[in-house]
Amino acid sequence: MNRIAVGVLVGGVLGILDGLTAWFTPEARPEIIGIVIGSTVKGLVAGAIIGLFARKVTSLGWTLAFGTFVGALLAFAVAHIGGKYYLEIMLPGSLVGLLTGYATIRYGRGASMHPAPGSGAH
Amino acid sequence: MTRLDDEAVSRLRAAVREPDLSQTKYRLAGVAGTGGMGTVYVVEDTELKRRVALKVLDVPDAGIEARLRREAQVLARLEHPGIVPVHDAGALPDGRAFYTMKWVQGDRLDRRLSRPVPLAERLRLFLRIAEAVAFAHARGVLHRDLKPENVMVGAFGEVLVLDWGLAKVLADTGGLLPARRTGESAVLGTPGFMSPEQSGGESATVDARTDVYSLGAMLHWMAGGNSPRPLQAISRKAMAARREDRYPDVLSLAAEVTRFLDGEAVSADAESVLRRLARVAKRHRVALGIVLAYLAGRALILLFTGR
């Protein structure tokens, strides 16, 4: 599976989990469906961006740092809409980005090293 | 009279055994190894400017000569990356039969695996051996002497199955190979890797499952003493005393090993629910680890922020 697909898959799954954890905040429970949908979309977007980055930059360290940053940035945007719970939204969002970054490098297939057809090899 | 010491005698013996390569395009470069039928030399092909392996009988013998020629003919019809290719065959000026084949630079499997090699890599080597043997079976040829000493592993991990001297042709579709009758009570093979029907002298009735047995013995040896339970079950099934209880063919055996490598259930080993859970968890350990890491991190955040 290529790195973008891994990023989208892992980001999406962790996004769902991230949204579901809003259940532990009693005042957020009435809006849980909207939170889960929003969190999933956030995870999918973060996963695609991190996967793209991981395809270009194959370093695990840089991808972890970039994943954490993207996760935090998207979570900040979401928190900013509500105007509250910045830390409570950004910390798990960063964690999603970090783990998605790890998964893209660990699971994803990098760019092909095969010569293009007709390149004259052999 | 001068007495010759043992070393001098062995040198003289080797000199006498050396093939007469005059009037041929080959020049002797060294000895690659010795076997039951003869010696394999490394020779220089002066026309093609390359080194090849030359297998020649130690002494002229009509019976063994026929077997050597047949081995060359069997190899010639088995064109596969896992089977050593034959380049030339004939008789040397001293009358001894020979054939030349690719000179494989590498280690014998038994020597390669005497060093620490991860189990997955051992199993991938096994699958390449099985693939070559399955190809031979598809061409109607049984090896009948599969053992680690008859497999070479090249410098780049390529695997070549050697020594087809005991091969049996089941179906000669091209009509090119002369039938070789093995005495019905002849015992052919190597103890430890030889099937019960071979050691019982039933050479006339052997089929693909005989090589399945030898491959099972090789798998047992290659996996090592403390191999995982499903792998032990696979080699046990392949080495069943009754042919009917073994895998029906080499491809079925290889498919089982592939399933094990992929973390899937193997048919030879009935697993409990607990062991199945453990296998699935192990197979998806990275995905599981990521989810658990998220949950652990989220739990910590909940603990410290209360939300």
Domain ranges of chain B: 14-102, 106-261, 273-305
Ranges of beta strands (E only) in A1-122 are none
Q: Is pLDDT at A54 greater than 90 in this prediction?
A: yes
Q: Please state, in angstroms and rounded to a whole number, the distance separating the CA atoms of residues B109 and B104.
A: 12
Q: Please state, in angstroms and rounded to a whole number, the distance separating the CA atoms of residues A29 and A21.
A: 10
Q: Is pLDDT at B249 greater than 60 in this prediction?
A: yes
pLDDT, tens digit, 9 for 90 and up, residues B225-247: 788 999 999 999 999 999 999 99
Q: Would A119 be classed as within a structural domain? A: no
Query: Is A14 within 8 Å of chain B by CB?
Result: yes
Confidence tier at B10 by pLDDT (50, 70, 90): low
Specify whether B145 is catalytic. yes
Place of tokens 């019960």: B196
> Which chain B residue lies closest to A97 (C-alpha atoms)?
B294
Encoded amino acid at A61, one letter: G
Helix (H) or strand (E) holding B43: strand B38-45
Place of tokens 């000199």: B15
Please state whether beta strands B151-154 and B159-161 pair in parallel, antiparallel, or not at all (unpaired).
antiparallel
Q: Would A65 be classed as within a structural domain? A: yes
Helix (H) or strand (E) holding B151: strand B151-154
CA-angle at B115, arms to B113 and B120, nearest 5°: 55
Q: Are B189 and B199 a contacting pair, CB within 8 Å?
A: yes
Q: Is pLDDT at B8 greater than 70 in this prediction?
A: no
Q: What is the 3-state secondary structure (H, E, C) of A51-77?
A: HHHHHHCCCHHHHHHHHHHHHHHHHHH
Report pLDDT for B179.
Answer: 46
- What is the tally of structural domains in chain A? 1
Report pLDDT for B213.
Answer: 96
pLDDT > 70 in chain B, percent: 87
Q: How far is CA B27 from CA A25, A91, B51, in A?
A: 85, 74, 9
Residues of A in contact with B297 (CB under 8 A): 92, 95
Q: Please state, in angstroms and rounded to a whole number, the distance separating the CA atoms of residues B105 and B42.
A: 11
Residue B291 distance to chain A (closest CA, Å): 7
DSSP string for residues in B272-284? -HHHHHHHHHHHT
Q: Are A112 and A14 a contacting pair, CB within 8 Å?
A: no
Q: Is pLDDT at A116 greater than 60 in this prediction?
A: no
Q: Please state, in angstroms and rounded to a whole number, the distance separating the CA atoms of residues A107 and B186.
A: 54
**A106 contacts B298? CB cut-off 8 A:** no
Confidence tier at B135 by pLDDT (50, 70, 90): very high
pLDDT, tens digit, 9 for 90 and up, residues B57-108: 887 778 888 888 888 988 898 999 999 999 999 988 888 889 999 988 889 9
Encoded amino acid at A37, one letter: I
Report pLDDT for A77.
Answer: 92
Confidence tier at B186 by pLDDT (50, 70, 90): low
Q: Please state, in angstroms and rounded to a whole number, the distance separating the CA atoms of residues A42 and A9.
A: 12
Q: Coil, strand, or helix at residue B132?
A: helix
Which DSSP symbol is given to B44?
E
Q: What is the 3-state secondary structure (H, E, C) of chain A?
A: CEHHHHHHHHHHHHHHHHHHHHHHCHHHHHHHHHHHHHHHHHHHHHHHHHHHHHHHCCCHHHHHHHHHHHHHHHHHHHHHHHCCCHHHHHHHHHHHHHHHHHHHHHHCECCCCCCCCCCCCC
**B286 contacts A106? CB cut-off 8 A:** yes
Q: Is pLDDT at B187 greater than 70 in this prediction?
A: no
Question: Fold for domain B14-102?
Answer: Phosphorylase Kinase; domain 1 (3.30.200)
Q: Please state, in angstroms and rounded to a whole number, the distance separating the CA atoms of residues A41 and A51.
A: 15
Which DSSP symbol is given to B32?
E
Catalytic residue among B45, B145, B163, B211: B145
Q: Are B280 and B143 a contacting pair, CB within 8 Å?
A: no
pLDDT > 90 in chain B, percent: 41
ipTM of the complex as predicted: 0.71
Select the more confidently predicted residue: B283 or B184. Answer: B283
Q: Would A12 be classed as within a structural domain? A: yes
Q: Is pLDDT at B21 greater than 70 in this prediction?
A: yes
3-state helix, strand, coil in chain B (%, to 5): 45, 15, 40
Q: Are B51 and B29 a contacting pair, CB within 8 Å?
A: yes
Q: Dihedral sign, CA of B233, B234, B240, B246? A: positive
pLDDT > 70 in chain A, percent: 90
Mean pLDDT score across all residues of chain B: 85
Mean pLDDT score across all residues of chain A: 85
Which structure tokens are listed for B78?
A: 């088995």
> Looking at domain B106-261, what is its CATH homologous superfamily?
Transferase(Phosphotransferase) domain 1 (1.10.510.10)
Place of tokens 């599981």: B288
Of the residues A21, A31, A50, A96, the best mutation for testing chain B's interface (the one with the most B CB atoms within 10 Å of its CB) is A21
* Length of chain A as a residue count: 122
Q: Would A88 be classed as within a structural domain? A: yes
Residues of B in contact with A26 (CB under 8 A): none
Q: Which domain holds residue A96?
A: 3-107
Select the more confidently predicted residue: B36 or B152. Answer: B152
pLDDT, tens digit, 9 for 90 and up, residues A57-83: 888 899 999 999 999 999 999 889 878
Confidence tier at B189 by pLDDT (50, 70, 90): low
Place of tokens 């909207």: A34
